[in-house]
Amino acid sequence: MPLVYQQNINECTKLGVWHITEEEAFFLEQVPLQRAITHPNKRLQHLAGRYLLRQLFPDFPLQLVQIASTRKPYLPDEAYQFSISHCGAYAAVVVSTGYRVGVDVELVTPKVGRVKHKFLTPIEQELLHNQPRFPFLLFSDQLLTAAWSIKEALFKWQGSQEVDFKQHLQLQHFHLAHNEGTANCRLTRHGDISLTVHFLFFSNNCLSWVVSAN
C-alpha cells in the first residue's frame, strides 16, 4: 500500500500522500468516478485522491462530494472539510471534521524560477534571498517551488477564484529545518488573515498544507 506519508495533525485532522503505482481498476473497485475525465493520467489522479480520502477517514461519503463554481470539491453538509492535490505520480489529501484546510503538492522544477516575478513581490523575493543557503542554494528551485506551493495551499484554503497570488497571498517569514519548514503568511483578499503553512520536501516534490479554525 503506497501511502508514503501520513500525519495525524490533531484529534480531527489527517494528512496523507499516496504514491500512485496502481492501475485504474484498483481504484474503481472502491471509488466511484463521479464525472467524465478523458485524460487517463488525470482520471487516475482523481481516483487516487478520492481513494486516499477513504484511507484517512473510512466513513468519508464520497458519493456526496460536489464541485463548487470555483472547482473546489466540497460536501454540502460540511461534515468534513477537505482539500486534494495531484502532481505526477502523487496525490495529497488533508481532511478534517473541525478545521478549514488546504493542501498542495508540486514537483520541484527550474521552470518556477522563470515566473517567480508573477507570484512573488520584490519583498518576498528578498525574504527568500535572505534564507540560509545550506542545504538550499540561493533562489534555489526548492525554495521557489515551496513558495508557489505554499500560496497554492492558501488559495485552496480560502476557496475563492478572485485571488491574486502576488497581491493577496503574502509570505512574511520562512523557517527552514533540514527538509521541512513553516511560513507565516497573510491573506488580504477577504479581510486580513494570518496563517501558518507547513511544507515538506520529499522525492523531488514539495508538500504544503494549512489547517486553521478560521
Measured CA angle at 85 (ends 150, 70), to 5 deg: 85
* Same-domain pairing of 43 and 84: yes
* Same-domain pairing of 93 and 112: no
Of 105-109, 167-171, 174-178, 203-207, give the lowest mean pLDDT range: 174-178
Q: CB under 8 Å to 44, separation ≥6 — which residues? A: 20, 24, 27
* Same-domain pairing of 93 and 111: no
* Same-domain pairing of 132 and 188: yes
Percent of the chain residues past pLDDT 90, beyond the cut:
73
* Same-domain pairing of 135 and 198: yes
Which among 82, 98, 114 is the end of a domain? 98
* Same-domain pairing of 50 and 144: no
The CATH number that applies at residue 117 is 3.90.470.20
* Same-domain pairing of 80 and 158: no
Which among 54, 79, 98 is the end of a domain? 98
Please give the model's pTM, rounded to 2 decimal places: 0.93
Residue with cell 489527517: 14
Instruction: List the domain range (segments joined by +) for residue 14.
Output: 3-98
Q: What was the pLDDT predicted at 133? A: 60
Q: Residue 187 and residue 170: Cα distance in Å, rounded?
A: 6
* Same-domain pairing of 109 and 179: yes
Other C-beta atoms within 10 Å of 178: how many? 8
* Same-domain pairing of 200 and 109: yes
When pLDDT is cut at 50, 70 and 90, the band that residue 162 belongs to is confident
3-state helix/strand/coil string of the chain: CCEEEEEEEECCEEEEEEECCCCHHHHHCCCCCCCCCCCHHHHHHHHHHHHHHHHHCCCCCHHHCEECCCCCEECCCCCCEEEEEEECCEEEEEEECCCEEEEEEEECCCHHHHCHHHHCCHHHHHHHHCCCCCCCCCCCHHHHHHHHHHHHHHHHHHCCCCCCHHHHEEEEEEEEECCEEEEEEEECCCCCEEEEEEEEEECCEEEEEEEECC
Mean pLDDT of 110-124: 93
* pLDDT tens-digit map of 18-52: 999 999 999 999 898 877 788 999 999 999 999 99
Cell of 142: 526548492
Q: What was the pLDDT predicted at 138? A: 44
Contacts 24+ apart (CB under 8 A), 43-48: 44/20, 45/20, 45/86, 45/91, 46/86, 48/18, 48/20, 48/22, 48/86, 48/91
Which among 40, 68, 98 is the end of a domain? 98
Q: What was the pLDDT predicted at 64? A: 93
Residue with cell 486516499: 52
Look at the chain and report how many structural domains it folds into: 2
* Same-domain pairing of 49 and 22: yes
* pLDDT tens-digit map of 175-209: 888 889 999 999 998 789 999 999 999 999 999 99
* Same-domain pairing of 160 and 177: yes
